[in-house]
């Protein structure tokens, strides 16, 4: 019996010895929670993976949900960093913003839709119900399925500003959340029209998704026209914090804004901005 007791004590001691390094690593690890814009989230996730490789023991948890969630979570202390895919307004000086890239918003239709160009006026009339059939603007004699974004999405706010409407003016048949949902909806419906991030739309085209990006007022939405400023719906993609960031939070934001992230930004069809 005494021998067995010694063996048990030795086994416990060995397990404790083996477990301690793992416990120490867990105690020393840090997690940065990033929530918000579905436009920024895929890029942020890729940047996070590269950052984690360069910073062992650090985990960056990227969650989507829309720009409004990013702002709310940051203000409530539920996230260290919020993602906001638009310029910050005058009522949002309670957070600190860091621009990380430039994107745009574009209209998308199904690949089989023959219409290659739209005007701002036509888009406005489609979304307010003044134009209800594609035949009214040179397309097939089919009703238009209007796809719009849910409240709280920055893409909606940027689009409304462009067409000069309030959210109550929009006559939508389908309301979607993130860009990928919008792209999937339009790609699956030959009569649909929607609007999404230019970066998300170009990425979908590169993957062979069945969408078309018509020109707007004679300008083809693309990374190139965003870069040269000719695309009419441009926006800054921002990270926000409640106060001036410190420690690993600051390091992640600096990495996101450094040249190290430029290749990832280009891979997501966004335009890099140099840090001030």
pLDDT tens by residue, the chain, 276 residues: 444 444 444 444 433 333 333 333 344 579 999 999 999 999 999 999 999 999 999 999 999 999 999 999 999 999 999 999 999 998 999 999 999 999 999 999 999 999 999 999 999 999 999 999 999 999 999 999 999 999 888 999 999 999 999 999 999 999 998 999 999 999 999 999 999 999 999 999 999 999 999 999 999 999 999 999 999 999 999 999 999 999 999 999 999 999 999 999 999 999 998 744
- Residue 151: predicted pLDDT: 87
- Residue 29: predicted pLDDT: 75
Q: Collapse the DSSP code of 192 into the 3-class scheme (helix H, G, I; strand E, B; otherwise coil) and give the result.
A: strand
Q: Determine how many CB atoms are found less than 10 A away from the CB of residue 72.
A: 17
The pTM of the full predicted model, rounded to 2 decimals, is: 0.81
User: What tokens does 32 get?
Assistant: 């940065």
Write the DSSP symbol of residue 88. P
* Cα–Cα distance for residue pair 119/99, rounded to 1 Å: 30
Question: What structural domains does the chain harbor?
Answer: 2-100+239-272 (3.40.190.10), 103-227 (3.40.190.10)
- Residue 20: predicted pLDDT: 36
* Cα–Cα distance for residue pair 97/194, rounded to 1 Å: 29
């Amino acid at each position: 019996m005494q021998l067995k007791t010694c063996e048990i004590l030795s086994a416990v001691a060995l397990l404790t010895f083996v477990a301690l390094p793992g416990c120490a690593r867990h105690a020393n690890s840090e997690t940065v929670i990033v929530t918000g814009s579905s436009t920024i989230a895929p890029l942020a996730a890729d940047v996070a993976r590269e950052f984690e490789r360069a910073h062992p023991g650090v985990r960056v948890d990227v969650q989507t949900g829309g720009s409004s969630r990013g702002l709310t979570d940051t203000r409530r202390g539920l996230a260290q960093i919020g993602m906001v895919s638009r310029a910050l307004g005058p009522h949002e000086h309670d957070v600190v913003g860091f621009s990380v890239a430039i994107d745009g918003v574009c209209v998308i239709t199904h690949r089989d839709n023959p219409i290659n160009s739209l005007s701002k006026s036509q888009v406005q009339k489609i979304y307010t119900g003044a134009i209800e059939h594609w035949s009214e603007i040179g397309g097939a004699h089919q009703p238009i399925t209007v796809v719009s974004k849910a409240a709280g999405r920055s893409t909606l706010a940027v689009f409304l500003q462009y067409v000069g409407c309030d959210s109550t003016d929009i006559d939508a048949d389908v309301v979607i959340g993130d860009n990928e949902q919008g792209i999937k909806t339009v790609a699956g419906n030959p009569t649909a029209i929607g609007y999404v991030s230019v970066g998300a739309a170009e990425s979908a085209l590169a993957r062979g998704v069945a969408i078309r990006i018509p020109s707007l007022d004679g300008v083809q939405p693309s990374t190139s026209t965003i870069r040269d400023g000719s695309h009419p719906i441009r926006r800054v993609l921002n990270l926000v914090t409640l106060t001036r960031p410190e420690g690993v939070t600051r390091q992640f934001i600096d990495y996101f804004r450094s040249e190290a992230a430029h290749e990832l930004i280009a891979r997501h069809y966004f335009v890099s901005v140099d840090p001030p």
